[in-house]
């Protein structure tokens, strides 16, 4: 992200953004991109409007055109009323929206959003998701968004790249990636831990595969989850394994991640946190 | 043109922040006022030393205090950059097409303005307690210009060090380590001919001394305008070098992240 936005330089290799080389054409790349970093980029001691006017100045926007555009992005991000207040008095969600506005004020062709919803409460996060969806349509933007939240990627992305330990492990539309995993995820919770018996029983059932057991939890993949559940419960009860609950889910990006990275997303995330 | 507009915008940002905390301007005046009155009283009898050339000590001291306040105010300017870096504001600015030099010069402009205001107050106070400025407005204007120039040099150095170290503690350490010795190794507090030989020798290379000498002669009965011009020239060259250093520091910073 830092390399693509010209903030930092790569040790090797080359990268193009909007058809421009990020090292040789850094100046033109800067004019075509907007960047919303992980950390807030706003100046807390200035008002929202002053923040935007300063940003616009650096892109050469002036006079009436600048005023119009600043008003437009303030309105677009729901900050029209707050524009005259110091940014440090904003709520977390509003500050984040001002950051997005700063990235948009010069009408970039590509907008980089680096984990934009990290640290926001669920409501503010949902708000920002809606804004991002609207912006992508209204501003004719390409948005590159990085995130640790798979449901965020699922909802917002039309093209998805999964990176694990610095390598691309999968790419495609979320739909295509999910449909690659044929069938549904079936999850069964047992009354008491009897995983070995249960796995043995289920592995003999037709149409059930990818079995995994963890304590009292069983995970399996079935072509038609809803149809598989009754026979599955039946087989377990016959063997004397008591079932507490059973759920069927369409494949999620979590499953995609599990499949490609070879470990669950929660696990990988915990490892990264430890490393950091 | 672009360079100028960007610099103006950055300066405006810092000035607005300053004006929103007017109490800070008052606080920043406390130290130089204390220096002037306290040193002025403490070393009053200096004027009686044989070889001390005319005038009262406080009259002699005023340009020295102006120079001191210039370097101490300018020294802390880099704190703003460290805050910007920690917050993420700096990275946001660095991915815009902003002219890199504007980041330093805008912050320097703000610092120079507050140095000029503080200096005016110090000069005014010194006149109140009986000092004389022999060349009127011109003398004071030259003194302020020299203080501003010295402040710009030190503000640029502070910004450069801030961007390279990114640590408040390091900047505090360097500023305290540099400003006091440079003040004492100059004629800011004591007439040059009365300084020990080795200090006089060191002082020839000390920009704080250049500013003190030039500022003092500008307010003297018979100003040595040649000396004023050469010292302003030296400080100007130093400003070019330190501003280039502060601007180049961003390249190093961007390589390191």
Mean pLDDT, chain A cut into blocks of 10 residues (276 residues total): 85 84 88 90 95 96 94 91 95 92 92 87 84 82 87 86 84 83 80 74 76 78 80 82 83 78 64 50
Q: What pLDDT, on the 0 to 100 scale, is given for residue A276?
A: 39
Separation CA A221–CA A186 (nearest Å): 6
Q: A102 at the B interface (CB within 8 A)? A: yes
Task: Give how far A3 is from chain B: nearest CA, Å.
Answer: 10
Neighboring chain B residues of A86 at a CB cutoff of 8 Å: 20
Q: What pLDDT, on the 0 to 100 scale, is given for residue A268?
A: 64
In terms of CA atoms, which chain A residue is nearest residue B16?
A46
Do B88 and A41 count as a contact with CB atoms less than 8 A apart? Answer: yes
Specify the domain boundaries for CATH 3.30.70.100 within chain A: 182-250
pLDDT values of chain B reduced to their tens digit, one per residue, 257 residues: 899 999 999 999 999 998 898 788 788 889 899 999 999 999 999 988 988 886 889 999 999 999 999 999 999 999 999 999 999 999 999 999 999 999 999 999 999 999 999 999 999 999 998 888 887 889 999 999 999 999 999 999 999 999 999 999 999 999 999 999 999 999 999 998 899 999 999 999 999 999 999 999 998 888 899 999 999 999 999 999 999 999 999 999 998 88
Q: A96 at the B interface (CB within 8 A)? A: no
DSSP A47: B
pTM: 0.85
SS3 A83: coil
Q: What pLDDT, on the 0 to 100 scale, is given for residue A33?
A: 92
Specify the domain boundaries for CATH 3.40.50.300 within chain A: 16-146
- ipTM metric: 0.89
Q: What pLDDT, on the 0 to 100 scale, is given for residue B78?
A: 96
Half-sphere exposure for A12 (CA within 13 Å, toward CB): 0
By DSSP bridging, strand A160-164 and strand A142-146 are unpaired
Q: A55 at the B interface (CB within 8 A)? A: yes
- The answer for B 19-38 residues in CB contact with A (under 8 A) is 20
SS3 B114: helix
In terms of CA atoms, which chain B residue is nearest residue A112?
B95
CB pairs under 8 A between A and B: 72
Q: Which of B6, B88, B254 sits opposite A40 (nearest CB)?
A: B88
Q: A46 at the B interface (CB within 8 A)? A: yes
Q: For A184, list phi and psi in degrees, rounded to 5.
A: -110, 165
Q: What pLDDT, on the 0 to 100 scale, is given for residue A266?
A: 60
In terms of CA atoms, which chain B residue is nearest residue A2?
B257
Q: B257 at the A interface (CB within 8 A)? A: yes
Q: Which of B6, B16, B254 sits opposite A8 (nearest CB)?
A: B254
Do B92 and A37 count as a contact with CB atoms less than 8 A apart? Answer: yes
In terms of CA atoms, which chain A residue is nearest residue B19?
A45
CATH dotted code for A182-250: 3.30.70.100
Query: Vertex B117, ends B111 and B119: CA angle to 5°?
Result: 100
Q: For A83, list phi and psi in degrees, rounded to 5.
A: -55, -30
A16-146 folds as Rossmann fold (3.40.50)
pLDDT tens, position by position, B144-197: 999 999 999 999 999 999 999 999 999 999 999 999 999 999 999 999 889 999
Separation CA A17–CA A271 (nearest Å): 31
Task: Give how far A242 is from chain B: nearest CA, Å.
Answer: 54
């Amino acid at each position: 992200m830092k390399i693509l936005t010209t903030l930092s330089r790569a040790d090797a290799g080359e990268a193009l953004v909007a058809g421009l080389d990020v090292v040789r054409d850094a100046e033109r790349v800067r004019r075509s991109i907007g960047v919303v970093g992980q950390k807030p980029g706003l100046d807390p001691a200035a008002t929202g409007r002053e923040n935007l006017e300063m940003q616009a100045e650096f892109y050469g926007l002036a006079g009436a055109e600048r005023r119009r555009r600043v008003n437009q992005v303030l309105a677009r991000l729901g900050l029209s009323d707050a524009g005259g207040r110091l940014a440090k008095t904003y709520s977390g969600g509003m500050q984040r929206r001002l950051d997005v506005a700063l990235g948009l004020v010069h009408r970039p062709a590509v907008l980089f959003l680096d984990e934009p919803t990290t640290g926001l409460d669920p409501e503010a996060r949902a708000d920002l998701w809606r804004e991002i969806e609207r912006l992508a349509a209204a501003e004719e933007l390409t948005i590159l968004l990085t995130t640790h939240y798979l449901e965020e990627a699922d909802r917002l992305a039309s093209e998805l790249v999964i990176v694990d330990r610095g390598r691309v492990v999968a790419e495609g539309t979320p739909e295509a990636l999910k449909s690659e995993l044929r069938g549904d995820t079936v999850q069964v919770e047992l009354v008491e831990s009897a995983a070995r018996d249960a796995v043995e029983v289920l592995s003999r059932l037709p149409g059930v595969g990818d079995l995994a057991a963890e304590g009292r939890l069983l995970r399996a993949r079935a072509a038609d989850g809803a149809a598989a559940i009754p026979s599955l419960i039946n087989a377990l009860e016959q063997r004397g394994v008591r079932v507490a609950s059973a759920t069927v889910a369409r494949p999620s990006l979590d499953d995609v991640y599990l499949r490609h990275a070879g470990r669950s997303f929660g696990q990988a995330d915990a490892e990264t946190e430890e490393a950091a | 043109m672009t360079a100028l507009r960007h610099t103006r915008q950055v300066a405006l940002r810092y000035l607005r922040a300053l004006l929103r905390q007017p109490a800070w301007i008052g606080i920043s005046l406390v130290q130089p006022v204390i220096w002037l009155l306290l040193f002025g009283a403490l070393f009053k009898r200096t004027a009686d030393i044989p070889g001390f050339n005319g005038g009262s000590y406080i009259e002699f001291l005023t340009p020295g205090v102006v120079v001191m306040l210039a370097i101490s105010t300018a020294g802390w300017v880099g704190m703003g950059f460290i805050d910007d870096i920690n917050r993420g504001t700096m990275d946001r600015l660095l991915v815009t097409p902003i002219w890199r030099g504007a980041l330093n010069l805008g912050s320097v402009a703000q610092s120079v303005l507050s140095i000029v205001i503080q200096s005016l107050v110090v000069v005014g106070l010194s006149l109140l307690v009986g000092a004389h400025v022999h060349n009127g407005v011109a003398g004071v204007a030259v003194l302020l210009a020299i203080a501003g120039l010295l402040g710009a040099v030190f503000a640029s150095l502070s910004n450069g060090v801030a961007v390279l170290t990114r640590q408040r503690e390091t900047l505090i350490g360097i500023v305290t380590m540099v400003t006091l010795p440079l003040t004492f190794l100059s004629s800011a507090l004591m007439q040059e001919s009365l300084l020990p030989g080795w200090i006089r020798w060191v002082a020839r290379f000390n920009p704080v001394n250049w500013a003190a000498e030039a500022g003092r002669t500008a307010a003297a009965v018979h100003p040595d305008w040649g000396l004023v011009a050469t010292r302003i020239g030296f400080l100007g060259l130093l400003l070019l070098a330190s501003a280039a250093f502060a601007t180049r520091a961003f390249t190093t910073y961007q390589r390191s992240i």
